[in-house]
Amino acid sequence: MTIYLDYAATTPIRPEVLECYVENLKTLGNPSSVHSAGQKVRRALEEAREELASSVNCDRNEVIFTAGGTESNNLAIKGLFWKQRDSDSKKNLIISAGTEHHAVIDPIEWLEQHEGAEVIWLKVNSDGALDFQELETLLELRSQEVALISLMWANNETGIITDIKKVTELASNYSIPVHSDAVAAFGHIETSFKNSGLTAMSISAHKVGGPVGVGALIVARSAKLVSLTHGGGQERGLRAGTMNAPAAKAFALAASKAIEELHAESARLQALRDSLISKVQASAPNAKLTGGASFRMPHNAHFIFEGCSGDSLLFLLDQQGIEVSTGSACQAGVNGPSHVLVAMGRSIPEAYGCIRVTLGSDSTEDDVNAFVNAIPKAIEGALKAGIVNTGAN
């Protein structure tokens, strides 16, 4: 029997969402067509936009449907940067943090390499929390040069939550736009766009029981962005191309279900997560929990196993039918330490020896116990293998 404990990578599609998706796939029509078939699909698309807006707590016109979190991040970061610099050539500075997902880090580095952007990566402490004093001082000194700030709402690897409201309050003193990758947070903790003060926020369907391949960028009505794609005026002129109404409908339904169940499910998963943490620490003395337990996602437990390779642990657990990860699924198979842990000041061996356990809708105490029972054998094997590559010459 397989125990799936990698819900941060992707979640099972909800049965009712799958049914909704399939039914809408059967409907013929391009939502931009003016005939009856097209307008029927257009109505479905706009219903989805309205429903998703309700879940996000934003205006319906602020919902821009995309293919997922990575596209949303690229559109927000590049689009805001180009628009800001076009309006004022001095605005060439991007502020972010080294613990971000690569879907944020990579487009920022692309702008640095190809568009001459200057980038400042904010420091985080050993728990992964931002140095807000550094941000405040930086804004006081260089606010006229800042094009945008991009900081994730919750870290996809460690589960550490950032006080996004505090970020936007500091930025608002200088009218600096703030984008947040909320893919790991949306549907699991409160993420009201209206109350956040954000200019843009990225979310994705497959993290909340929806299909892969659809997401959204929530963009404040007052915000101006340069589009990445050209060829039509769809999605407020920000995303050209035929809109995917079936996927939008499925996403909207999955999001509404996740928000409806958020408080009860978060409490259930936090209790399971706390049980898992205490049992792992009791059975594995070399296990170190990363981050602070008080400001992490309720379904996330992230450990460093001293002397072990995370890849070895993953393989050995998988042999016992336990599916976890070492971090972002997007980086799976990449031979290197966790960039998140390195940014947190952890040693290279520690950054190679991490495991992320994330719980979800089907998780039970039996699953937790299965993981706890499997971990000693996996640790024994991983310790024998050692950390093959520490990054040292």
- At 232 the three-state DSSP class reads coil
Q: Distance of CA 355 to CAs 36, 80, 112, 280, 282, Å?
A: 52, 35, 31, 12, 17
Q: In what order do the strands lie in the sheet with 200-204?
A: 63-66, 215-219, 200-204, 178-181, 146-150, 93-97, 118-122
- At 39 the three-state DSSP class reads helix
CB 95 within 8 A of CB 122: yes
- At 323 the three-state DSSP class reads strand
Question: Which residue reads 């191309």 in tokens?
Answer: 241
Q: Is 330 a catalytic residue?
A: yes
Task: Return the structure tokens found at 304.
Answer: 């460093």
Tabulate helix, strand, coil % of the chain (nearest 5).
Answer: 45, 15, 35
- Report d(CA 175, CA 173) in Å as an integer: 6
Kindly tell me the burial class for residue 359, based on how many C-beta atoms sit within 10 Å of its own C-beta (0-12, 13-18, 19 or more). Answer: buried
CB 348 within 8 A of CB 389: no
Task: Return the structure tokens found at 90.
Answer: 């001095």
Q: Which of 161, 187, 166 is nearest to 178 (CA)?
A: 166
Exactly one of 20, 308, 330, 354 is catalytic; which is it?
A: 330
Question: Which residue reads 């205006």 in tokens?
Answer: 59
* Helix or strand (DSSP H, E) at 147: strand 146-150
Angle of helix 69-87 relative to helix 102-114, nearest 10 degrees, comes to 30
- Write phi, then psi, for 121 (nearest 5 degrees): -95, 115
- Report d(CA 207, CA 57) in Å as an integer: 18
Residues carrying an active site annotation:
330
